[in-house]
Amino acid sequence: MEANLTFHLAVDLGATSGRTILASFDGGKVDMRELTRFKYPMIPLNGHLHWNLPLLYEEILKALKKCGEELSAKGAVLASVGIDSWGCDVAFFHKGGALSGLPFCYRDSHTDGAAERFCSRMPKEEVYASTGIQFMDFNTLFQLDTIKSHSPEIIESADKILFIPDALAYMLTGNAVTEYTVASTSQMLNPRTADLDLTLLGELGIERGKFGPMVNPGHQIGSLTKQVQEATGIGPVPVIAVAGHDTASAVIGIPTPDSAYAYLSCGTWSLLGIESPQPIINPKSLEYNITNEGGVDGTTRFLKNICGLWLFERCREEYTDAPDDVAALAALCLESDCDSIINPDDPAFAHPDSMTRAIADYCRRTGQAEPTAPADYVRVIFRSLAKRYRQVLNWIQELSPIEIKRLHVIGGGSLNSHLMQMTADETGLPVIAGPTESTALGNILIQLRATGHASSLAAMRRIAMASTQTKTYSPKTNA
């Protein structure tokens, strides 16, 4: 083993599945490999959907133990660990650290209509002016308002309210913090003050003290507790507050030499945006429902959430006469000539009982041909996503201080060559696909910065470029 290698563990949690990535850094580039992978489906319980947070904690302990054993055999130690996850959802803890029930899942229907209910008390324009966050019913602001209305005892008895990565870090270290990037997804953070907005908290009737102190990516939350050390056989490893929101970590991992780009984090959700030097909050951004989420070093992720490959994944569950292989299924789009187009963000596609039926019903309502075969559905979904990307990209460019010259696509969807080419053709921009592991890479890069191996965002991006490979899709001139 090379003497100058350092080792870092990224815990990367997505919707219903997660993994841990063990990375080594040689001073110039990062090598990553998957250490563990695990699933945690949403739990239907008493009419609601919840997350099994103790299971996530247990899986992290397993990964730490495995990591410790492997590194010990090499005569090495783990330098740090960081956790990223989806946004918006929170966990509640009693005084003393015991978990207060299972966290609600953002896909639970109890928040249907929650944004409208809250904005009947506080004008939508006022909420947006304070936060710059797009309106979605599952934003933390509306989740907490719903819980306060239906089950006030949950909030009243809580000593701490923590976002998912912060909750897991609290369980590992005993220290409670609120990490800036994941807090920015909540629609409770004011980007001008860089803290939770007291007026909004007042409307909820929740004290600021129930949340941990605000920290930025790169802050050392603490070290593993003695109990965790004993359970895993590993030492007092520092736990770093990385960019806790997975998209924020993914953007850090983009291998780009400059800022003249837009990014598309392509997975279950599609998140399309730019890295802006300041928030963009005005009547037009409100009209387009574009969000301003926290990035690293004072940057703002000016982006819009688009219902992404969730459509494809849900349809795939219903196919009985189509290939099981994802790539082969995606290739079916070449075998169809169905030209129907859907709006991926129509509420009909949020959580239907049958996605294929929802798409067929939408096409019928809008006077278009209904897809019939799996190939039709795949083509409709991919073409509709590409056209939605073009529409949103045009909105962002209209408001952006940055000239967008290319589109970087990161995440698992970047492997979908058919969707990537359609996106290049629709937008007229070169599409730079990859890396698929941008989120884990961004997580690791912040750990490197926190442990003294990268001094700036530019330095982290240089490491990203040295550590990844990409594929370029050029727009077809006859598209």
Between CA 398 and CA 135 the distance in angstroms is 20
Q: pLDDT of 24-78, one tens digit each?
A: 999 999 999 999 999 999 999 999 999 999 999 999 999 999 999 999 999 999 9
Domain 6-246 CATH (choose: 3.30.420.40, 3.40.50.800, 3.40.50.300, 3.30.230.10): 3.30.420.40
Confidence at residue 3, expressed as pLDDT on a 0 to 100 scale: 59
Classify burial at 77, counting beta carbons within 10 Å of its beta carbon; exposed 0-12, middle 13-18, buried 19 or more: middle
Between CA 249 and CA 372 the distance in angstroms is 39
Confidence at residue 74, expressed as pLDDT on a 0 to 100 scale: 94
For the record, the structure tokens of 177 come out as: 């913090």
Confidence at residue 477, expressed as pLDDT on a 0 to 100 scale: 72
Confidence at residue 216, expressed as pLDDT on a 0 to 100 scale: 97
Chain centroid, CA 346 distance in Å:
20
Between CA 24 and CA 444 the distance in angstroms is 9
For the record, the structure tokens of 156 come out as: 């009243």
Contact 438, 250 (CB under 8 A): yes
Contact 111, 138 (CB under 8 A): yes
Between CA 205 and CA 198 the distance in angstroms is 10
pTM of the model: 0.92
Classify burial at 406, counting beta carbons within 10 Å of its beta carbon; exposed 0-12, middle 13-18, buried 19 or more: middle
CATH 3.40.190.10 at 256-434, yes or no: no
Question: Which residues on neighbouring strands pair with residue 432, listed in sequence order?
Answer: 408, 472
Alpha helices in 184-252 (DSSP H): 198-204, 226-232, 246-252
Catalytic residues: 246
* CA distance between the termini of the chain: 51
Q: Where exactly does CATH 3.30.420.40 map onto the chain?
A: 6-246, 256-434
Other Cβ atoms less than 10 A from the Cβ of 203: the count is 17
Confidence at residue 350, expressed as pLDDT on a 0 to 100 scale: 86
Confidence at residue 478, expressed as pLDDT on a 0 to 100 scale: 55
Q: Which residues of the chain have pLDDT under 50?
A: 1, 479
